[in-house]
Structure 1
């Protein structure tokens, strides 16, 4: 029988302190998530407060034309932007009207449909079934739940014919095409919008019988199958393309993802200057009055407050460290890729995380966290910081270039191609090789898709 024994071992391993864990977590957040994190800390930690000291305001180039973003002149003060949020809510100089009072309220798809159904002379049972269908619609206006399941959800045990009637009633509402169960039905519901009877009949045959060929833009094939003139088929296809395959998106607030730049780049006296976007920097500081009061009356019963004070100090330091790190990395990127801002994608240089990490004295993993979900606003657009990194591709002359530059060359080739004789991917690869760039055909295809350029067959048909 084995007797239990105690054994002492010495091991070395790295652990992150709570402060470092918080610093890493704050560093990898996007600007929006970071602002929410800081505001949450302000709400729950009594030792944190907003830093009311004045800070330079940097204009937001994401909301202004590129020419204005590149200007060195300060933005004009229109009075409204100079007001504090509290002044705007209070109506400025004591008025009751705010700018938000002039913004139209968004009406969602379901509210829009309910408003139409409730003005119809329907008995309560039919109204309930129609409301059940409306509440089951997706945001794009499609019904993807089987009617049999909706019948159970309604709670009134309707017959299948009643559910189908409720569906047809919803499909008759505005916008046209709502309540469809697939794309074909959605387009068929919108065909009455075509005024020409002959064109409408031809479009109906295309939608119901040859929808895949319509997606392939095969006008000649459709003309043969339908035994109709090419011009008539082309006109019907063009009319179908003007129908809305997502009718529900016309109503309600769209889920728009806005990009908020963390760094703003401007040209100042011939040099490129990177600054933090002060408009989104949540400035926090330690509430010294509360901290002194706590230190004067501190005892063992206040352990929770002591932890809050320590966390507040960590938060203040980590917020400053986050923005200092982002700015250092952005400035290092700008020093390496300033030619991109002056000459476009063709001047993009190969750049690795290790180069920036060595220059600013950080670990590669830290640089990777900084470049994800952090954006730089420039006079030529808003770019994620990791956009400026790419591996080096060796040319025939032995020099290196970045994939971004190669994509720029491909785009120039396609933009200058003959409309009647567009360039295929193999031909683009051969032309690149003649310029000293050895790029495989599949790589050209991948870059063309990244540029959102259609294949050669579709470009030829459009021409």
Structure 2
């Protein structure tokens, strides 16, 4: 075949570096965005933080931030405007417009007030986090008068405990790992384990949940309900887990009052005695949007703590402007700084628009709670704001909203719907809330089955199948009917 040149016309989507950066910033969470901005600040000398911005700056719907003004002053008039510059004509919202007293009274879960009232529990959590289980047991071992050989065996078993305080590896397997020249007998390991089981916290060193509960019951003062509880734990724990109280009463020859007291005693025990000393990885959330009720209307505005304050370095910008032949590297970094400032601005603008649209459609949720949540899909918000559905998906992923009812991810307000008898629709979130209410108000002696819950919802006009009720119940971590039965 003879080679030849051909001219072909075609269309393809080209993403400019500025658009790529805008998409990347939009899909990042607040923490990830802050890390990305820190990287730009280290690499770009023309980009800096604007520390002169007052702390009261909230920047709501107008987004007239000082660093945006700086960026606009340093740009030429011929530079095209960024995508999404359309703004609503509503006046900007600042923290001064917010009724702080009302927010404090309604917030509950969001307000940081009241934490000082629980200083004792905070101190205990800090102490538990700084003192490990092995250190705690080692300190008690040092207070004993055991021989050095016995102490070594106890330390060996302490190292074999898991985070919950259980000895999950059988003693025989641990004994086989010891060097033969030490001539250690299996009975010596059993004695060392008995020493550990006498340490604090009670129940430590158990080889099963049954043994853990039994150790705690034996440490309690002798009582009638304690003896019955110990008998149930040692012989009939499976029946108690299955809530087969009728068979338990028959096997233990006890009445309802005695069995109820023994059950309450067992429930009060700690099946994971070592978990209190485990280090907890705390995950902090910085909400991007705060929702409050202003003049009878639920309104969203950007959280000032999540809004980075950036500007172009004036000194470098003036030097570049005075030079006839600009430095190519610095000129590119100046353009990169301007892009970043505009893209950060556009990111929060889009988040605010989507958040306000969600608030307007879910205002009944803010007034009455989950039972009033209405069905909502990404396409509905995308059509209202003239955005692509993928853009709304990026905005609602890993972005959080602080409300008087708690902090929620934006995706929480979207959900499927179930048809009603009247031809309307009910959201899955509202149905889960109704199921939770029905189970919370049920009679413990005769709990509601999934079929009964389905019938009750049907009487309220919500057509839900039994398997759908079971699915929603499991998503709420609510056990089935046989495990919810009480005496």
Please give the range of the TM-score, normalised by the shorter of the 2 chains: 0.7 to 0.9
Give the corresponding residue for 1:117. 141
Give the corresponding residue for 1:56. 56
Give the corresponding residue for 2:154. 130
Give the corresponding residue for 1:386. 411
In 2, Cα distance between equivalents of 1:284 and 1:179: 55
In 2, Cα distance between equivalents of 1:18 and 1:178: 59
Task: Give the C-alpha shift of residue 195 in structure 1.
Answer: 1.3
Task: Give the C-alpha shift of residue 413 in structure 1.
Answer: 4.0
Within-5 A mapping of 1:26-175? 26-43=25-42, 45-52=44-51, 53-56=53-56, 68=104, 70=106, 105=127, 106-122=130-146, 126-145=150-169, 159=184, 161=186, 162-175=188-201
Q: Is the 8 A contact 2:450 2:469 kept in 1?
A: yes
Q: Is the 8 A contact 1:128 1:154 kept in 2?
A: no
Q: Is the 8 A contact 2:376 2:416 kept in 1?
A: yes
2:401 is the alignment partner of 1:365: no
Q: Select 1:437's aligned residue among 457, 462, 487.
A: 462
Give the corresponding residue for 1:374. 399
Q: Is the 8 A contact 1:184 1:211 kept in 2?
A: yes
2:366 is the alignment partner of 1:341: yes
In 2, Cα distance between equivalents of 1:196 and 1:396: 59
Q: Is the 8 A contact 2:445 2:486 kept in 1?
A: no
Q: Select 1:224's aligned residue among 250, 253, 256.
A: 250
Task: Give the C-alpha shift of residue 229 in structure 1.
Answer: 4.0
Deviation digits for residues 253-287 of structure 1 (CA, Å, limit 9, x no counterpart) = 43343443221111111111101111233333333
In 2, Cα distance between equivalents of 1:160 and 1:307: 75
Unaligned runs of 5+ residues in structure 1 are 81-99
In 2, Cα distance between equivalents of 1:151 and 1:355: 65
Structure 2 CA distance for partners of 1:203 and 1:274, relative to 1, 3 Å: same
Q: Is the 8 A contact 1:132 1:154 kept in 2?
A: no
Deviation digits for residues 175-197 of structure 1 (CA, Å, limit 9, x no counterpart) = 11223333222222222232125
Q: Is the 8 A contact 2:362 2:373 kept in 1?
A: yes
Q: Select 1:182's aligned residue among 200, 204, 208.
A: 208
Partner SS state of residue 266, structure 1: strand
Deviation larger for 123-132 or 187-196: 123-132
Q: Select 2:428's aligned residue among 403, 411, 434.
A: 403
Q: Is the 8 A contact 2:399 2:410 kept in 1?
A: yes
Alignment size in residue pairs: 429
Q: Is the 8 A contact 1:142 1:181 kept in 2?
A: yes
Task: Give the C-alpha shift of residue 40 in structure 1.
Answer: 4.8
Q: Is the 8 A contact 1:137 1:143 kept in 2?
A: yes
Deviation digits for residues 155-206 of structure 1 (CA, Å, limit 9, x no counterpart) = 8975362544444433332111223333222222222232125544433332
Partner SS state of residue 401, structure 1: strand
Within-5 A mapping of 1:205-354? 205-251=231-277, 253-290=279-316, 312-354=337-379
Task: Give the C-alpha shift of residue 367 in structure 1.
Answer: 1.2
Structure 2 CA distance for partners of 1:420 and 1:129, relative to 1, 3 Å: closer
Q: RMSD across aligned C-alpha pairs, in angstroms?
A: 4.0
Partner SS state of residue 247, structure 1: coil
TM-score (norm 1): 0.77
Partner SS state of residue 462, structure 1: coil
